[in-house]
Amino acid sequence: MTQEAIRNQAGKYFEKVKALADYLTEHPEISGEEKESCAYITKFLKEMGYEITTPYAGMPHSFLAVDKEKKEFQGPKAAFLCEYDALPEVGHACGHSYSCAVSILGALALREAYPDLPVRIDLIGTPGEEFVGGKCYMTENGGFDGYQYAAMVHLNNENVTYFQVLASNDRYFTFRGKAAHASACPEEGLNALNAARLFMEAMDMWRQHITKDCQFHGIVAKGGAAPNIVPDEVCLDYYYRAATIENLWKLNRISETCAKGAAMAAGTTVEWSQRYPDYGEIYWNAYMDEIMQELFSDTGRATVRSKGPGGSTDLGNVNLKIPVFHPMIDITGSRKDIVIHDREFEGLLHTEAAAEVLRDGAYIIAELGYKLASEPEVMERIKEDHRKYRNL
């Protein structure tokens, strides 16, 4: 009965929401520039009976959409998230245009099917996922305080119940020495590139002694001016990842110690900065997985197990505060060679496969919202597991 009520209401709004998804697909805006996308979405939601706050939680081009009929609701609330930033050159090859639409269609279907639901479902627009890390700043500014959980559905080339991500951050190292002619008077120079090379070798030597969940990747952002000049300034750009934010910070400390030692050995100096916020990991457990498996099964979609960590996302920072659901829904069918962030992936948004993803994704997120609202004991167990993991 739950499925039938939700699907009937999803059908009522399907064409309107699909038109919204298609507009976003055809008018991609990269992270930090989602002005028109935000305006289009919020205009649509106003017409659907939502009260809009924009910007929200101190983030440009973000929004909070609250059903006007539940504006004074004093009970628990949950957030369906909308991402709508695109990628340079390949547009919505991330699938965010349709991911956003899934949250909106799911929220509308749930609202219409169960107007007396004992939970208020808000829509929160979260720009800057690909770059900047908008949810990091929104979380820090209290944007998710008071919410029981957050949920969204991301597009993928497989059906996966959750997106296994790593905590992540960065360091930008600047090694400084002294320039000199590399042939006429090299003894007068202090080679910043030598210090950088020592650092990179030291970090590579650490790979066998760090836990298997840890990763780091770096490039030489600035290596010198010319071969006949002893480099006096060399810059390295490094990213770090780990299964937990605590392990990430341990990796940072190792890296900083290596940088100091390398600079000292080469007679140079070093300083570093962190340009982007820490990204947290997403906590997931078998109980949550069972719930999501059932919801995928209800749509006739078979799921596969996560292949392991696959990058990082600012949604991990929301998870530092509250439980999150981030399943991945397949748009590729038999074309498993097509992956997110590829031009061919963006091309699938113009096919019937996108419509199927919109329907099924909306069913999944709406039925999740209904289950967690109508079975408070389920929600309590999820919150308690999360509190224990995060030591809240």
Task: Indicate the helix (H) or strand (E) that contains 7.
Answer: helix 2-26
Residues 135 and 192 in one domain: no
* Residue 64 in tokens: 């909070």
Q: What is the pLDDT of residue 1?
A: 60
Read off the pLDDT of residues 16-70 as tens digits, 9 standing for 90 and up. Answer: 999 999 999 999 999 999 999 999 999 999 999 999 999 999 999 999 999 999 9
Task: Indicate the helix (H) or strand (E) that contains 77.
Answer: strand 77-82
Read off the pLDDT of residues 68-111 as tens digits, 9 standing for 90 and up. Answer: 999 999 999 999 999 999 999 999 999 999 999 999 999 999 99
- What stretches of 238-351 show up as alpha helix (H) in DSSP? 245-265, 286-298, 315-319, 343-348
* Residue 322 in tokens: 């509250």
Residues 142 and 179 in one domain: no
Residues 286 and 149 in one domain: yes
**Domain CATH code at residue 355:** 3.40.630.10
Residues 83 and 195 in one domain: no
Backbone dihedral angles phi then psi of residue 273, each to the nearest 5 degrees: -140, 155
pTM (2 d.p.): 0.92
Q: Which residue is listed with tokens 């509190």?
A: 387
Residues 310 and 375 in one domain: yes
* Number of domain units in the chain: 2
Residues 34 and 10 in one domain: yes
Task: Indicate the helix (H) or strand (E) that contains 297.
Answer: helix 286-298
- Write out the residue range of the structural domain in which residue 349 sits: 2-165+280-390
For residues 161-165, average pLDDT: 90
CA trace torsion 96, 71, 77, 40 (10° rounding): 0
Read off the pLDDT of residues 306-343 as tens digits, 9 standing for 90 and up. Answer: 877 778 999 999 999 999 999 999 999 989 999 999 99
Read off the pLDDT of residues 165-196 as tens digits, 9 standing for 90 and up. Answer: 999 999 999 999 999 999 999 999 999 999 99
Residues 20 and 91 in one domain: yes
Q: What is the pLDDT of residue 3?
A: 84
